[in-house]
Structure formats: C-alpha cells, structure tokens
Copies of this chain bind each other. A is one copy, B any other.
C-alpha cells in the first residue's frame, strides 16, 4: 500500500449473527447460572470447562471435505496440521474428555458445564451463531437412579432460579416403552431393527401431532392416511385397527398417578420384553423420586413426551413452564419447554470402542432467562450507581472522598468523569446510567458543610432538560449534612 494513500477506515461492526451483551444482560445470566451451579454442586456434580476449540476429528460429526469443513461449524486448518473448530455443543467435548481422561476421572463422573457454543449457520432474527448452553450429565452410571437424580435436580434448579412450584412440570417418558409399542404395533422387529424404518417415522410424527390434529387425525395417520382441509393427502403408516389401538393407548396412558400410568403402559406394551423393561424403569424412577418427596406436582410420568425420543436410548425428560404469557400477537399461550434430556449410551464409543452409559439434561439458557423476565423475576441487576456530580473542578478530591465513603459502605457509586463544564450533561449522564441518586455540592453547600441529594427515580422524567436552577426547586431533593451522606443515601435507596 502506498504510504501517501489514506486507507479506508475499518467498520466497527459485530460479525453477522454475533452480538454483544451489556450490563444487566450479563449480570442476569451470570446470577441465574450461579444459582443453577449451586444446585448442581449440591448434587455432587463438578464443573468442567473445556477449551472452545476442538480438533474436527474429535468433534466427529463434521468432517472436512476437500476444502474445509463448513457444515455447521467454524473451522480452520493449522499450519501443516489438524483441522480445528469451535465446539458446537457441550456434549461432544464431554465425550472427548470422558474418553481422554477415562483412567483419571471417577466413575460415575457427574459433570456440569456452561458456556458459549458456536454454529456456522445462516443467522436470522433472534438466531445467533454464538449462544450459551448449560448442561449436566452423569457418565458411566447404568442405573436409572441417575436419570431420576437428574429429574429431581432439574426441578430444584428451576425453583432455585425463581420458577415457583406449580409453574413448571418435569415430564418423564422412556424410549424403550415406545419401542415396545412399536413392536406390538408390528413396526419394529427386534431381530432386524432396520426394517419398517419408514413406518416408524410416520408413527413418531403422528404421535408428535396429537396436540394439533386430535385423536382422530392421529388415528388416520396411523392407518391409511389423512386428507387435510386443503385436500392434501398425507400417507399413513398402514397399521391395522389393533395395532393403531396400541399406539393410541400409549399416547393416552397418562393417569392421575404415576402408578396408574405405569399400569396402563404395562397393558399397552403387552409381551414386548423391551417395552416391559422400559415400563419398569419408569416405575423405578417414580419410586425413587417419591422416596425423596418429588410427587407428580413436580415430576410426572407422561407418555406424550416425544421430543428427542429418536435420539435417546432410555428415559427422556423435558421441563415445561406451565404459566401463560402473551405471544407477539397478544394471544395467551403456555410458556413451554425450557430444558430437556435423556439417556444416550454411545457417548465415548467412537473413541474407545467401549459403550459407556450416560444421561444428561440441557437447560435452554436464553429461554429460561426469557421466562424469568416474563415472570418479573429479573430487573434489579440493572441498578445504576449513585453519581457524585462535579460542580467545582478544583474540588475533585472532595468529591472522590464522598465516592470513597459510599463505596466502602458497599454502595455502587462514582464521580462524574466527563467534562464537568455543562452541568446538564452530568444529569443526562446519570439518567443514562439509570442512577438512583445524584449528589450535588457547589461552593455554597461546601461552605455550609452540606450536600444535596437528588432522587433521580422520582425526578427521571424532568431530568432531560433541567438546568441546575429548575432542579433545585424540585421536592425530590434534600439538603443534608455531609457527615450524614452515607446514611441518608442508604435511607433513600431503601425506599
């Protein structure tokens, strides 16, 4: 570049699909995660913080094609070396750690983790390429006691962050029960699990549409198929009436108590050994939870939980918030799911060849924060500092001493550090900071040994264009002895 040519200025922009978090957003998330961590640690889970960068080989799912990996991850190649990439979730790094440190870690290994993950996807409104996940998993525990523990922990975590009992429900289902039902319905052959894959897909999708289509619609999809209002035809799974009955019975098996649900499910799975195993696991989970006092008001067996059934191998669970919010169109709707998880048994097999049973849960950090916001549980975090204004720039040491006194008393406080010439700017600054109180001391006040405290929460509306003279006439301000600064500020903040 020629030296006399002025290079164009760089753009000050966040990369597309990324964002910055300011002030209260950072604090609210941090405080929520701290409360969740406390619960997880009480349950014996240890934190794990893996590096953001993994080898593409260890991440597995995404392999470099001819040029570079681009299917979903941010990746690059080392100089003459490995392809590296940013992690896209917290489970893949856990699998790598569980394999790499298998001789050093306790078995079972209970670990929790939270932190950003990255997805190389097309960004959209509200969809970012970096976001937080918060996971807890138990690796190496074949017993469903591990699943029960995670359900209890999830309920405790939700209450710890401020979701009241009655405002959430943790629902538990079991993949094995569904497979038993598929067996009874004739679309799963234990001797050849690859058969009937298409039919099982149709059944799964039909179950998932119960809410929208109702029992008749689902039954049509289980049979020959269904024509919707527009006249379009969706092909069905082709089940006979008895077979469809089994699936419908599965979906409607939920009773008033866990015991009733389990009894019905036992009927539904009939002679399927796998199905019975699944029902017994659900029964054990319900027993273990009830022994700790977790009743169906908090955690219930619910065969309608289908989400993730395709991925998991045993118990699955989902936490739903049951209170209503207004959607963007002003209609009432349930808040919905904020966490989900289940048992998956192939965590480290890719690395070691050895199957290691694992179960875990992932909390949707942004969803849960939105729920807390909807319930009015957030907001204190945004409290701005008390601002000590600078009326006389030769007396900065005095103002700094006031700030020092306030801070030593644990009060968030600062002196105005901009150009003090325009007093209105100082008040605008305090306003922008969400400051609750401005402290003012001009020459007259200093001579009398007093300061003026201005209650900015009361005065917020008029602060915009106030001059000092207008300001002094407002009732929201008091003159107090300098010696009482800390106690009077404390009093005003407590109001």
Within 8 A of B (CB), among A113-167: 116, 118, 129-130, 138, 140-143, 145-146, 148-149, 152, 156
A291 within 8 A of B: yes
CB distance B291 to A397 under 8 Å?
A: yes
Q: Within 8 Å CB of A143, what residues of B?
A: 396, 417
Query: Chain A 467-495, CB within 8 Å of chain B: the 1/0 string?
Result: 00000000000000000000000000000
Give bound CA distance, A396 to B290, whole Å: 12
Query: Chain A 20-35, CB within 8 Å of chain B: the 1/0 string?
Result: 1111011100100010
A219 within 8 A of B: no
Each complex incorporates copies of this chain amounting to 2
Within 8 A of B (CB), among A374-412: 384-385, 396-398, 400-401, 403-404, 407, 410-412
Query: Chain A 439-469, CB within 8 Å of chain B: the 1/0 string?
Result: 0000000000000000000000000000000
| Chain A interface, DSSP helix/strand/loop, else mixed | mixed
Give bound CA distance, A293 to B403, whole Å: 12
CB distance A148 to B400 under 8 Å?
A: yes
What is the chain B residue whose CB lies nearest that of A128? B51
Give bound CA distance, A106 to B23, whole Å: 12
Q: Within 8 Å CB of A401, what residues of B?
A: 291-292
CB distance B26 to A49 under 8 Å?
A: yes
Q: A396-B288, A404-B292 are in contact. Are A11 and B57 (CB under 8 A)?
A: yes
A300 within 8 A of B: no
Q: A400-B288, A419-B142 are in contact. Are A46 and B58 (CB under 8 A)?
A: no
A271 within 8 A of B: no
A304 within 8 A of B: no
Contact among B43, B403, B418 for A141, CB-based, below 8 A: B418
Contact among B46, B75, B350 for A10, CB-based, below 8 A: B350
A333 within 8 A of B: no
Contact among B78, B100, B292, B418 for A140, CB-based, below 8 A: B418
Contact among B15, B20, B50, B414 for A20, CB-based, below 8 A: B50
Q: A12-B351, A41-B412, A58-B11 are in contact. Are A49 and B70 (CB under 8 A)?
A: no
Contact among B68, B290, B414 for A43, CB-based, below 8 A: B414
A18 within 8 A of B: yes
Q: A42-B407, A141-B417 are in contact. Are A27 and B14 (CB under 8 A)?
A: no
A429 within 8 A of B: yes
Contact among B18, B54, B384 for A15, CB-based, below 8 A: B54
A residues adjacent to B (C-beta < 8 A): 9-16, 18-23, 25-27, 30, 34, 41-44, 46-55, 57-58, 60, 68, 70, 74-76, 78-79, 81-82, 84, 86, 95-97, 99-101, 106-108, 110, 116, 118, 129-130, 138, 140-143, 145-146, 148-149, 152, 156, 284, 287-288, 290-293, 348, 350-353, 384-385, 396-398, 400-401, 403-404, 407, 410-415, 417-419, 429, 432-433
List 5 extra interface pairs beyond A10-B350, A42-B407, A106-B433, CB under 8 A.
A14-B100, A19-B51, A44-B413, A108-B417, A140-B418
